Amino acid sequence: MLRENNILKLYGLFLLFFIFFVPGNAIGKQNEITINDAMGREVSIKQPVNRIAFSGTCIAEALKIIGVWNKVVGRGYMILPDKQLYPDIENLPVIAMEPGPYSINCEKLLELDVDLLITVNVPFAGFKGMNDKIKSRTKVIALDMFQPDTVKKNFEILGKIFNEEKRSLAYLNWSENVMNKIVNKTSKLALAQRKKYFFKWSSGSFDEIYSMSDKFPGMTRLNEILGGINIAANLNRAWGGTVDPEWLMQQDIDIIICQDKILNGYGIGVDNNEVIRSYRKKAMGLPVFASSKAVKNNKVYMISPQFLYSPGFVIYFAYLAKWFHPDLFHDFNPEFIHQEYLTRFMELDYNMKKHGVFVYPYSTDATRFYK
């Protein structure tokens, strides 16, 4: 009898173990998803994710698009942290020590007790060192939200993490439709019809001239989409570094795209174009550009740098396609696309015909945008 009682007790303990412990583990596994991020890393993430920090402006836009901005509790370095675009951005703790996506104050990040740090996948050093310091307490994923060929996969990952697949798909369908309208026209261009262009960028000095070679991620694809030829394609480095003035003066340039960082020049809250208009005039007067076809034909365009490295790249391509091939895109309206992006996906109550400076010179409304 004693033996039977012991057997019954053991059986009861086994049942308790099975009822409480085993299902508990199963539930734990069910409340966890595994993704492969843009670096090819397999990362398991507990669900739900309620507290986020991000590093990279493109991530901020993506979080707005899928509707989880309210979960953000910390941010990295941002070139233009627009208060209208990002509610309460000024109140978010800054986890960056300096510009650069992986230059993170790890102690400050851990104090925020975030569930997930989302950063960008770019060819800079520092990711491993940052991740090693925080991985025991905070999951880290790297995503690429600004290249046409990778954005689909990365938005699908983001939608899965936050159970926002529907919103993710809506943006992807919209952006793909816009890009197809561009590519369907530019893909038919002969080599002689492609425009020779020069990208000028700097930290905000009109006489400081840097560019990007075709070694920079996405540049070759950009050329294909826009029907363009990058005259800086063969510079030694991806970022190109400071461009040799003598070399530049010898180049045949059809179009100059200036995407310098210009303080108070661009933004949703900027209604006066005087800053970028003056900046453009000074840049066009530089000896390296003054005799170029681009300057002589008034084909020098200013555009906010925020578009190129964000999910708003669709807007960037729309404006540039119009500038590169105005006859080909005579019935194409970049401002309409831009307005739809702000209203539908960034959920902003905003009228571009009344407010904002994003490009110069161009608008369908010639009374406000300045010939």
Burial 76-110 (b: 16+ CB within 10 A, else e): bbbebebebbbeebeebeebbeeebbbbbbbeebe
So what's the pLDDT on residue 149? 87
User: In a 3-state reduction of DSSP, which class is residue 124?
Assistant: coil
Return the DSSP state at 144. Answer: -
Q: Sheet of 300-303: strands edge to edge? A: 228-230, 195-200, 255-258, 300-303, 359-360
pTM confidence score:
0.85
Q: CATH second-level architecture of 33-160?
A: 3-Layer(aba) Sandwich (3.40)
H-type alpha helices, the chain: 2-16, 22-30, 57-65, 106-111, 127-134, 151-161, 165-186, 219-226, 245-249, 274-284, 287-290, 293-296, 313-324, 334-340
Domains 33-160 and 191-360 share a fold: yes
Q: State residue 15's pLDDT score.
A: 40
- Report the pLDDT value the prediction gives residue 24, as an integer from 0 to 100: 40
**Long-range interactions of 25-33: CB distance < 8 A, separation 24+:** 33/160, 33/161
Task: Say which CATH superfamily domain 191-360 falls into.
Answer: Nitrogenase molybdenum iron protein domain (3.40.50.1980)
Residue 290 exposed, middle or buried by CB count within 10 Å (0-12, 13-18, 19+): exposed
pLDDT at 178: 96
Instruction: Give me the residue spans of the domains in the chain.
Output: 33-160, 191-360
The whole-number pLDDT of residue 20 equals 41
Residue pLDDT tens, the chain, 371 long: 545 555 445 444 444 443 344 444 434 455 899 999 999 999 999 999 999 999 988 899 999 999 999 999 999 987 667 788 888 898 999 999 887 889 999 999 999 999 999 999 987 889 999 999 999 999 999 999 888 889 999 999 999 999 999 999 999 999 999 999 999 999 999 999 999 999 999 888 899 999 988 888 788 999 999 999 999 998 877 666 788 999 999 999 999 999 998 988 998 889 899 999 999 999 999 999 999 999 999 999 999 988 877 899 999 999 999 999 999 999 999 999 999 999 999 999 999 999 999 999 965 443 344 33
